Structure 1
Amino acid sequence: MKKEIQGRKIVTDTAVAYGQSKNTGLYALAAAVNTLWAEGVTDISVKASVCVPPYVYKSRRNGMMKLLQETCQEYGICLEEEEGITAAVVTVPEVIVTGTGITDEGSRPEILPGWGIVQTGWLGMSGMLQAAEERKRELSGWFSPSFMKQILSYQKELFAKSVLEAAGLLKTKEGEKVSFVRQIGSGGILAALWNLSKETKLGLDMNMKAFSILQETVEVCEYFRLNPYQLSSVGSFLIVSEDAEGLAEQILAAGGKANVIGSLTDSHDKLIHNGEEIRYLDRPAPDELWKIYQTDLV
């Protein structure tokens, strides 16, 4: 949500995450603050609520809250308000984070057909991490300890501040920003592309082979029979730019991950090329992460 006040705007975003892992709150926190950073907000305040069912020990709830506190301190985020609740109304722990900040109200150039679309980060990564944490014991019986360690090492990439700085989305010395940026949230990259087309009122011409995905995500998704293209991707963004190649190179030079994955068109078609195969983008589907809570999954 955005609200303009005398040439500046207040930006807020609320994110929710569910799960048994002590890291559950990090997914909600990262989703909210990444969205604000992408709007150019540098001073962020957050409110966090951790609600757990009665069967969860208070120590686990407190551990989740402590991790939120430590992470906010690490990234210079003001944890303005926090609360821990035990309630029978939830069946798994629920973390709600609302972030707020103020940024300058600047004009961005009109987006035109032919402009490129850059994907930063790794699609499906956050969903893969959550699935791995929620079913860690099960996966540990299938994958090697070194592979499990590698999976969990990607936690640090949930927070995309450095990548957004490299893309010029946070204030630079010249105050420049790119034209359009959206985090790949619930429903994965396919939902994000659909929403991008809807918001810009332009068509899409995408190259699926250019999508960036970790081998670890492929392996975990194959095990749980999940579609990684419909999996939450906190920390990964779609950025539209007139100079998409230059933007991707700029992010890569700063140590981030970025690929040009397609472009906008002047038609209403939403096309995805996968080699010689061409498909039309479907309407967004529910996030695949919910499937890991089904007892008959495997």
Structure 2
Amino acid sequence: MKKYIIFCGYAGLKGSLILAKKYREDLDRYFNKVYIESIEKHVKENSYYGRYLSPINNDRPECAPVDINSIFSEVNGETLDVSEGGILKVLYNLAKSRGCGFEIEIKKISTIQICIEICEYFGINIYRLLSEGKIVLSEDAISACKYLEERGITAQVIGCLTDSLDKVITDKETVEYVNRPLQDEIFKVIKDEREDIIGN
């Protein structure tokens, strides 16, 4: 049966937050200060995964913080972490290790507008940027997404694994092939303190 690729979280959010903190003065001169602070506010109130995952200022204030690992341990499908190198790196490595390919729709990958704009400001690719998210591989994508969304996690089917070796991104009529990942995009901007950044 076909294995669908579900992305949980937001592409490049963790890397964008780090850049927003480290280069706040520069970004405040280019963007509205409140707009920049909205990244930190989002992570504080919603976590990296969705809208219910912090006990602060959400619509379930009576609940304790959510244990992400316990949610994903019950999901209908295999789970992989998205971290350094972003979503494209984890998908490339997954396909290479299994001798298969994938086809994804880039517009279906969840993002946050200010993160897109920060990446444009620094000239980096949001889909190859440090992230805090997960990929779920499932044959029953509808049930898996319903399970995750009921627990407050942003979950979107972005494509599927294929029998071909091609690693394909589609965007309307255009097709792009994913190359072997290099270093995380964040290191095009921050050229030192590597361990501190990744471990942040």
Q: TM class, shorter-chain normalised?
A: 0.7 to 0.9
Contact between 1:194 and 1:283, CA under 8 Å: does it hold in 2? yes
Tell me which protein shows more helix as a share of its residues.
2
Task: Tell me the percent identity.
Answer: 32
1:201 CA drift (Å): 2.5
- Please name the residue that 1:208 is paired with: 106
Gaps of 5+ in 2: 54-65, 192-200
- Please name the residue that 2:32 is paired with: 144
Q: Say which of 155, 163, 183 aligns to 1:286.
A: 183
1:125 CA drift (Å): 0.4
Contact between 1:163 and 1:256, CA under 8 Å: does it hold in 2? no
- The number of equivalent residue pairs is 174
Q: Say which of 116, 124, 131 aligns to 2:4.
A: 116
Q: Say which of 110, 117, 123 aligns to 1:219.
A: 117
CA distance in structure 1 between the partners assigned to 2:122 and 2:5 by the alignment: 30
TM-score scaled by length of structure 2: 0.79
CA distance in structure 2 between the partners assigned to 1:191 and 1:293 by the alignment: 19
- Higher mean Cα deviation, 140-149 or 239-248? 140-149
Contact between 2:76 and 2:140, CA under 8 Å: does it hold in 1? no
For the residue of structure 2 that corresponds to 1:285, the secondary structure is: coil
How big is the alpha-carbon RMSD for the aligned residues of Structure 1 and Structure 2? 1.9
Structure 1 residue identity aligned to 2:160: S
Contact between 2:103 and 2:161, CA under 8 Å: does it hold in 1? yes
For the residue of structure 1 that corresponds to 2:36, the secondary structure is: helix
Contact between 2:75 and 2:144, CA under 8 Å: does it hold in 1? no
CA distance in structure 2 between the partners assigned to 1:274 and 1:177 by the alignment: 29
Gaps of 5+ in 1: 1-111, 171-175
| 1:267 and 2:164 are equivalent in the alignment | yes
Aligned pairs (5 A) from 1:147-296: 147-156=35-44, 157-158=47-48, 162-166=67-71, 169-170=72-73, 176=74, 178-234=76-132, 236-293=133-190
CA distance in structure 1 between the partners assigned to 2:81 and 2:171 by the alignment: 23
CA distance in structure 1 between the partners assigned to 2:173 and 2:146 by the alignment: 27
Contact between 2:101 and 2:166, CA under 8 Å: does it hold in 1? yes
CA distance in structure 1 between the partners assigned to 2:110 and 2:171 by the alignment: 14
Larger Rg: 1
CA distance in structure 2 between the partners assigned to 1:163 and 1:213 by the alignment: 19
- Please name the residue that 2:198 is paired with: none
Structure 1 residue identity aligned to 2:157: V
CA distance in structure 2 between the partners assigned to 1:188 and 1:222 by the alignment: 16
Which structure has more relative contact order (CA 8 Å, sep 6+)? It is 2
Contact between 2:138 and 2:144, CA under 8 Å: does it hold in 1? yes
Q: Write out per-residue CA displacement over residues 131-160 of structure 1, whole angstroms, 9 at most, x where no aligned residue.
A: 111111111222222212211113332487
Tell me which protein shows more strand as a share of its residues.
1
Contact between 1:163 and 1:251, CA under 8 Å: does it hold in 2? no
CA distance in structure 1 between the partners assigned to 2:75 and 2:35 by the alignment: 38
Structure 2 residue identity aligned to 1:140: D
Structure 1 residue identity aligned to 2:106: M
